[in-house]
Amino acid sequence: MARLSQEHDAYRWICGGVSVNYHALNDFLACNEALMDELLTDNVAALAAAGAICLERVAQDGMRVRADAGAASFRRQASLQEHLSEAGELVQSAKKAAQVAPGQTQRKAQAAKLRAAQEREQRIRAALEQLPEVAAAKKRNGGKAEEARASITDAEARVMKMGDGGFRPAFNVQFATTCEEQIIVGMAVVNAGSDMAQLVPRVEQVEQRLGQSPGQWLVDGGFPAHEQIDAVAERTDVYAPVPEPRPRKDATKDEQGHEVKPDKHEPRLDDSEAVAEWRQRMAKPEAKELYKQRAATAECVNAQARNRGLSRMPVRGLTRVRSMVGLFVLAHNLMRMVKLAPLLVGLGVGVKTIYTQVA
């Protein structure tokens, strides 16, 4: 793009005489998290105002995207402290070498080595700062806090279980998409491998962005923690599969000695009103039919994102990763706008817009 902005007439016209180089483009792509969120809000608001989308039903799903960090870059605290000490010595050595370099060429080379050493030292310090958070997460999941490891390449990346069953450094990308139009109305990037705590933040985000919550919110079995369902009960109806009850020692058994499992859709004694309603809701045939839209929506959007290159992050750190994901979301919505509301992109009057005007 930097080359085209200097050589191609169309790109030069777009630039309008403003100098564009690689660093300016890179900074725009990776350092505009707030701008991407603002643009998404404007985009969704424009579609809603044109009648191109409705918020009757939204599907949410998470996809694990490979981080720009190797599995071998993860270290425990003792190893990180050792690497930090070595990096500090390397920085001091590079500073001395830069001061005594005889010529301009040698000084530039030594300055580059010094910058590389300082950046490595900063990455190791960032990994050490992330260790308490990683240790706390391990402890919550039943692991040992002393086994916590952080990456010296991307300190905010976490080892997650991927779609193929393997474990690799990744980020958890969350999309909330309207089922009918497949417009992404909510997004997030987190470094937690589980989706369990991601329902409430996305509902609140969509409500803040559009001034209302969808009537129905479809998620898979990794989302519906009871406290999450309670928190959004007054905003939306959650549709998610009800898990099978766990085996119990005092469970009733049949004549063959097999455990008689209770109906998972029947409310439990310790269920809140919202959780009890969720269980009963998912027992209805119409709810099971409606829930099929989750995979048709969420999996389609995830597949399109991967086909457009969202398979491995080209940047490091949550802030930069969120900026990149924001670009993917805006590109996806723009492609959908061509179908749903071509008038908004200067391609004529859309069918949905005509229907809205007639109504």
Q: Is the pLDDT of residue 355 over 50?
A: no
Q: Give the pLDDT band (50/70/90) at residue 50.
A: confident
Among 241, 234, 222, 237, smallest CA distance to 174 is for 222
Alpha-carbon distance 272 to 269, whole Å?
A: 9
> Is residue 40 within 8 Å of 333, Cβ to Cβ?
yes
Q: Which residue would you say has higher pLDDT here, 160 or 248? A: 160
Phi, psi (rounded to 5 degrees) for 160: -130, 160
pLDDT tens-digit series, residues 271-281: 899 999 999 99
Over residues 105-134, the mean pLDDT reads 88
- pLDDT (0 to 100) of residue 227: 92
Q: Which residue would you say has higher pLDDT here, 105 or 186? A: 186
CA atoms within 13 A on the CB side of 320: 14
Q: Which residue would you say has higher pLDDT here, 31 or 92? A: 92
Average of per-residue pLDDT values in the chain: 87
Alpha-carbon distance 101 to 334, whole Å?
A: 53
Q: Give the pLDDT band (50/70/90) at residue 260.
A: low
- pLDDT (0 to 100) of residue 164: 86
β 158-161/167-178 pair status: antiparallel
Question: Domain residue spans in the chain?
Answer: 31-69+168-358, 72-152
Alpha-carbon distance 330 to 338, whole Å?
A: 13
> Is residue 20 within 8 Å of 2, Cβ to Cβ?
yes
Among 65, 64, 61, smallest CA distance to 174 is for 61
Of 79-83, 135-139, 188-192, 293-297, the poorest mean pLDDT is in 135-139
Q: Give the pLDDT band (50/70/90) at residue 132.
A: very high
Of 1-15, 54-68, 123-137, 340-354, the poorest mean pLDDT is in 340-354
Burial class (CB in 10 A: 0-12, 13-18, 19+), 157: buried
Q: Is the pLDDT of residue 157 over 60?
A: yes
**Total Cβ atoms within 10 A of residue 352:** 20
Q: Give the pLDDT band (50/70/90) at residue 358.
A: very low
- pLDDT (0 to 100) of residue 341: 79
**Total Cβ atoms within 10 A of residue 172:** 19
> Is residue 293 within 8 Å of 299, Cβ to Cβ?
no
**Total Cβ atoms within 10 A of residue 350:** 21
> Is residue 294 within 8 Å of 239, Cβ to Cβ?
yes
Give the amino acid at 127: A
Question: What is the three-class DSSP state of 26?
Answer: helix
Q: Give the pLDDT band (50/70/90) at residue 254.
A: low
H or E element at residue 217: strand 216-218
- pLDDT (0 to 100) of residue 359: 43
Q: Give the pLDDT band (50/70/90) at residue 353.
A: very low
Cα separations (Å) of 16 from 10, 29, 215? 10, 20, 46
pLDDT tens-digit series, residues 212-234: 889 999 999 888 789 999 999 99
Q: Is the pLDDT of residue 250 over 80?
A: no
Alpha-carbon distance 57 to 79, whole Å?
A: 49
**Total Cβ atoms within 10 A of residue 81:** 13
pLDDT tens-digit series, residues 324-336: 999 999 999 999 9
Q: Give the pLDDT band (50/70/90) at residue 67.
A: very high
Q: Give the pLDDT band (50/70/90) at residue 257.
A: low
Q: Give the pLDDT band (50/70/90) at residue 261.
A: confident
- pLDDT (0 to 100) of residue 252: 66
Over residues 108-134, the mean pLDDT reads 90
Phi, psi (rounded to 5 degrees) for 43: -65, -50
DSSP state of 211: S
- pLDDT (0 to 100) of residue 241: 92
Take residue 203 and report the two structure tokens written for it.
């509902």
pLDDT tens-digit series, residues 73-94: 999 999 999 989 998 988 888 8
- pLDDT (0 to 100) of residue 307: 92
Alpha-carbon distance 265 to 278, whole Å?
A: 8
Helix axes 300-307, 318-340, angle to 10 degrees: 110
Alpha-carbon distance 112 to 94, whole Å?
A: 9
Over residues 235-245, the mean pLDDT reads 90
Most confident of 49-58, 202-211, 261-270: 202-211
Alpha-carbon distance 37 to 35, whole Å?
A: 5
Phi, psi (rounded to 5 degrees) for 343: -60, -35
Q: Is the pLDDT of residue 253 over 70?
A: no
